[in-house]
Amino acid sequence: MQPETRRYTATQLVTFTKSLFEAAGFDEEKARTTAEILVEADLMGHTTHGLALAPEYLDELEAGAMSRTGAPVVVEDRGATLVWDGLRLPGVWLTARALALACHRARQFGICAVAIRNSHHIACLAAYLLRATEQGLMAIIASSDPSVASVAPFGGTRPVFTPNPLAAGIPTAGDPILIDTSASITTNGLSARLREEGRRYPGLWAVDAQGTPTDDPNVLVADPPGTILPAGGMDHGHKGYALALLVEALTQGLGGFGRAEQPSQWGASVFVQVLDPAAFAGLAAFTAETEWIASACRNSAPLPGVRAVRLPGQAALARRRAALAEGVQLYPGILAGLEKWAAKFGIPLPAGR
């Protein structure tokens, strides 16, 4: 595929994407928030989980598999803890809204956790985190999709989990630490991209249905399918397996809906927690510690062949700064995937330069 050479401003991309979602039936707030978070992912360079998802979301809307309007049902609200039924509303909007509420409540209670059942897909977890860290709050977001299984437990060959991402935004005295990790070595999104591009994993990150380790992402769509390995792989995959179970409990357990109901539609169970350092030992004491460890990491003498140790989020924030200053070059094929929708709704493609 040809590399994209045009550059777009974040505003151009948000305006364009928002218009598409509004044309597809979203109200203004849902369209804006979804566009903002997807574009944020592209600014950060998380290109499998940004605008690349917009055509899939528009397909879901057209098929009636994603709700267009309305608000989540509050199943339970105890102040510092809440459960929402997301009614298959856009997961990006639900998650951003839950995070905003959890930030507000954490200022009141010191801590707040929201579990969301029946959300639609929530895209890139890292893209939400600045909304908390810029207020001096620490956010934790986890997600799973009870309709999908692509990751086996350690020692097993039959997938039972999704990659089960876990993100955390941690304020420091400077740039925040933006963690976006998962219980498995890699994601479904990256696996799909490698398959499309005829590429392989950089390591033995999967096993086929017989349990033979492989770098071939096609085993996931074979019949019978193989599985992505939990983090730690064949050597110490009990580490990723443990994290996968923790995320299942936080998202589906606390939300009270998940694999036990065997849902068949693409969706998400979501867990959002915010901690207010001011309610603990104070924000200054918090950032004194996190800044110290961040600095110690950056200054750890690098391995042979490594230029310097980086913090989680450091490269993403650098890409984001550059993209805001100079415009963003989209990953090849992303805008092409939206051309059909732009034509259908009569919305001009962003001009770029």
Of residues 81-140, those binding a copy of itself (CB under 8 A): 81, 83, 109-113, 115, 117, 138, 140
Check binding of 248 to a copy of itself (CB under 8 A): yes
Give least dist CB 262 to a copy of itself, A.
9
Q: Provide the token pair at 270.
A: 């979501």
Q: Which of 99, 127, 144, 130 is nearest to 35 (CA)?
A: 127
Query: Whole-angstrom Cα distance, residue 232 to residue 84?
Result: 33
Number of residues engaging a copy of itself in binding (CB under 8 A): 94
User: Residues 6, 158, 199, 321: which binds a copy of itself (CB under 8 A)?
Assistant: 158
Give least dist CB 317 to a copy of itself, A.
15
Q: Which of 9, 20, 287 is nearest to 173 (CA)?
A: 287
C-beta of 156 vs 337, nearer to a copy of itself: 156
Residues 284-313 that bind a copy of itself (CB under 8 A): 285-293, 296-297, 299-304, 306, 308-312
Residues 13-72 that bind a copy of itself (CB under 8 A): none
Give least dist CB 268 to a copy of itself, A.
14
Task: List residues bridging with 227 in a β-sheet.
Answer: 207
Contact assessment for residue 269 and residue 144, using Cβ atoms and an 8 Å cutoff: yes
- Cα separations in angstroms, 17 against 274, 293, 315, 348: 29, 39, 25, 11
C-beta of 33 vs 118, nearer to a copy of itself: 118
Site string for a copy of itself, 310-349 (x = CB under 8 A): xxx-------------------------------------
Give least dist CB 239 to a copy of itself, A.
4
C-beta of 282 vs 332, nearer to a copy of itself: 282
Give least dist CB 279 to a copy of itself, A.
5
Q: Provide the token pair at 235.
A: 């050597």
User: Residues 27, 74, 134, 155: which binds a copy of itself (CB under 8 A)?
Assistant: 155
Residues 249-268 that bind a copy of itself (CB under 8 A): 249-250, 252-260
C-beta of 123 vs 254, nearer to a copy of itself: 254
Contact assessment for residue 29 and residue 344, using Cβ atoms and an 8 Å cutoff: no
Angle at 153 between CA 150 and CA 154, to 5 degrees: 125
Helix (H) or strand (E) holding 278: none
Q: Provide the token pair at 27.
A: 């109200």
Sequence-distant (6+) residues with CB within 8 A of 61 are 21, 24, 25, 26, 68
**Window of 43-51, 94-102, 158-166, 326-334 that interacts with a copy of itself by CB under 8 A:** 158-166
Contact assessment for residue 15 and residue 23, using Cβ atoms and an 8 Å cutoff: no
Residues 168-227 that bind a copy of itself (CB under 8 A): 168, 170, 177, 179-182, 185, 203, 205, 207, 210-211
DSSP label of 51? G
- Cα separations in angstroms, 315 against 6, 122, 275: 22, 22, 25
**Window of 38-46, 88-96, 245-253, 331-339 that interacts with a copy of itself by CB under 8 A:** 245-253
